[in-house]
Amino acid sequence: MKNTLIAGVVGVVLLGGAYLLAAPYIGMLSDGAELQRLLSDDGQQNILRTGSNEPLPLDDSVAAPDTGAIIKSHTQIRPSANPERNAYFGDLHVHTAYSMDAYAFGTTTTPDDAYRFATGEAIPHPLGFEMKLSRPLDFYGVTDHAMFLGLVRAAGDTSTEFSEHPVAKPIHNLNAPDNKGWETRLKRSLLFANFVPNVRNGLADGSIDQEAVTSVAKSTWQDIIRSAEKFNNPGQFTTFVGFEYTSSSDDFGNLHRNVIFAGADKLPVEPFSRFHSQNPEGLWDWMDGLRERGVESLAIPHNPNGSNGQMFKLVDWAGDPMDDAYAEQRMRNEPLVEITQVKGTSDTHPALSPNDEWADHEIVSYRVATVLDSEVNGSYVRQAYLRGMAMEEEGTTNPYKFGLIGSSDTHVSASSVNEENYWSKVGLFDGNAEGRGSVPVTGFQGTFLKTAAAGLITQVEGRDYLRGTGFEAWSASGLTGVWAEENTRESIYAAFRRKETFATSGPRMKVRFFAGYGLSPEMLNAADLVTQAYAGGVSMGGDLASETEGQPGFLVWAVKDPEGSPLQRAQIIKGYVKNGEPSEQVYDVACSDGLEPDPATHRCPDNGAQVNLADCSISADRGADQLMTVWRDPDFDPDQDAFYYVRVLENPKCRWSTWDAVKTGVEPRADLKTTLQDRAWSSPIWYKAVAAAEDVTPKDPGAEEALQEEPLR
């Protein structure tokens, strides 16, 4: 077989949705096909073609988890429930050493460590430094990859039975303390790229016993459940049992989902993976089957921006037009979508929203885990809302009527959502500024790369940076916000189901959004404003039926993060279909600093907020602590269906890459944005016109079912 020289090329392998620097600068790969596999494919999906593609057997039984004796030390008094609901913040997309890719990245922390981090403790990064939040989160969900759950960790641990298999031996002691230098990245990439297809082929030819793999997954799953139960503290801190279903289309379009369970008293004995079905409809069938047996869950798609148009397309998996049954099943199982995370934001794209000046926020335009462009159409939330509305006009149930959340997709157990204190996602590969391409490579590593693998270096204004990793495009994002009566699984999960959720790109901004015919500016100073808003309108995630007379008011109330930047503006984004054509409009509805939106352009004047790039300080005298208004749509048509959602923008601040440069004492990288505006998005409110008012889409069919069941604890 002819060898192919790869010097100067960056290979990327997706391990659970993250890039690895495959470091082919060392020299030779076996042939061009191997190069193509490493360079442009989703490693976890491609292995299904390089190895056996037969579905693996699934134990679909349900049982009370065998978590053993769980010792809890919770002593706080549980606060009373608040009927006006509180804002709670959390992360529902967290990977630990139990995910096969995270372990390859050098992560050794466990679900216990993840929950300790979320409650305010420091935990170690693979590079050795401490990761710690400035304040605890309210809820957290560990969502390790279901695919070969725990198996790479078991292969690396020489005390396990599975480590005795020949396929495991190259992984032995992979994360020993003396084996975590940057020079181990090539070994980690190539070992992992071979491990998964070798296991698949071993299962197919019988050289690896299926039970050996399944037993690792089941025991790991039980430990994930045990950890969630241990740290769940009703009224103070909430944990959710979950996992990630990691699939893609044949053209490498991302179709990943996180599955979140309402409770933990009765759960499947193993999670559902890509190895059980590549088709997400198979996942929904499994979830429906669990629901019939009293196990409630929901799935949350993420990174539609990297789906190559597959996430929000107009046909089902088989290529047939979507029908009511498809739409109802999808909405029953997927009431939420993750709009922002480390691998980019999926609100909209400048090509789809050319009149939205803020559409280019943290865009990552590649298919997940490749260097291939991702098709814009079908990959962004706002267009999905418009597509769903168009389908509804044509008589089909809307399959894209989802609420919004944000999460981090961390692979080091710890959310990294602060621009100033950013450790990115993939451990040894991007845990420092040089590795993520924000500052020039120097020292021995820089000298070695420039000498032995010049193709791994890109020059920007005469400075040498690592190239092709994609890390420089990633984001310090995001978090989920919910409005719930109390900090418990039951209350927060009910908020998920009714879509009273909002997403932020990291800061803990609070956003309220209501619509109703009795809402007026006179309410804004009322002590019982929120009570009146719930009584006289619908909140985010809801449907507003038309009335024969009058025009609805939209109440927007945003409060800055106490540790964040001041607010600059609040906007309402409207979408509708007119004469068969989708349309959108962005309205600034509340401005900071006493400014008012221009009635012609619907834009706030510039408030003059500045960023000093020398030290990342920001204007102290610009911006608002809160923005509040009751707005009426100047283009309202009572006969036209529409959706409305809120976007709140902070004043500009330094992007994490600029902070890296400032801390290192170098100029910011010239081809990266130096600043950004962190933001929050509410779930929409859907207005149903007079002609359609009697046909308002029913509430999420899973929500009522979930609330009628006995509470799951």
- Picking from 671, 668, 665, the residue whose alpha carbon sits closest to that of residue 611 is 668
Q: Which of 381, 403, 389 is nearest to 334 (CA)?
A: 403
Tell me whether residue 412 is in a domain. Answer: no
Q: How far is 158 from 21, CA to CA, in rounded Å? A: 26
Residue 130 maps to a domain: yes
24 within some domain: no
**Residue 491 is assigned to a structural domain of this protein:** no
Q: Which two tokens stand for residue 335?
A: 């009431």
pTM over 0.85, yes/no:
yes
pLDDT at residue 72, as a whole number: 64
State the DSSP H helix or E strand holding residue 293, giving kind and residue range, or none if neither: none
Q: Select from 384, 406, 428 the last residue of a domain.
A: 406
How far apart CA 712 and CA 555 sit, in angstroms, is: 34
Q: What is the pLDDT of residue 368?
A: 86
Q: What span, in angstroms and rounded, lies between the C-alpha atoms of 544 and 642?
A: 10
Q: 581 to each of 35, 391, 572, how far by Cα in Å?
A: 44, 12, 20
The whole-angstrom separation of Cα 143 and Cα 277 is 18
* Distance (Å, whole) CA 508 – CA 495: 17
Total residues found in the chain within this entry: 713
The distance of Cα 674 from the centroid of its chain, to the nearest Å, equals: 23
Tell the residue number behind the tokens 């000046």, with chain if given: 357
Q: Per the structure block, which two tokens stand in for 10?
A: 């960056």
Q: Is residue 7 part of a domain?
A: no
Q: Are residues 248 and 133 in the same domain?
A: yes
Instruction: Please identify, among 364, 387, 406, the residue that sits at the C-terminal boundary of a domain.
Output: 406
**pLDDT value of residue 54:** 62
Q: With respect to residue 506, please indicate whether it lies within any of the assigned structural domains.
A: no
The 10 Å Cβ neighbour count of residue 130 is 11
- 546 and 660 within one domain: yes
d(CA 243, CA 144) in angstroms, rounded, equals 5
Question: Helix axis angle, 32-40 relative to 43-50, nearest 10°?
Answer: 150
Q: 274 and 125, same structural domain?
A: yes
Q: Is the separation of the CB atoms in 114 and 162 below 8 Å?
A: no
Nearest to 151 by CA among 65, 81, 207, 218: 218
Measured distance CA(379)–CA(376) in Å, rounded: 5
Please name which of 542, 497, 551 lies closest in space to residue 519, comparing C-alpha atoms.
Answer: 551
Q: Which residue has the tokens 């913040």?
A: 89
d(CA 31, CA 312): 36
Q: Which residues, other chains included, contact 387 with Cβ-Cβ below 8 Å and sequence gap of 6+?
A: 312, 314, 378, 400, 582
For residue 606, the one-letter residue type is: D
Same domain, yes or no: 276 and 393: yes
Last residue of one domain, picked from the residues 349, 373, 406: 406
**Pair (682, 547) in one structural domain:** yes
Question: What is the chain's Cα-based Rg?
Answer: 25
44: in domain: no
> Residues in the chain with pLDDT < 50?
1-52, 693, 696-699, 701, 704-713
In this prediction, residue 50 carries a pLDDT of 33
Domains held by the chain: number: 2
pLDDT at site 45: 38
Structure tokens given for 428: 């040894």
Cα–Cα distance between 701 and 278 in angstroms, integer?
25
Domain of residue 658, residue span: 511-708
Question: What residues are paired with 123 via a beta bridge?
Answer: 131
- Going by the DSSP 8-state scheme, the letter that residue 621 receives in this structure is T
> Is residue 312, in this structure, part of any structural domain at all?
yes
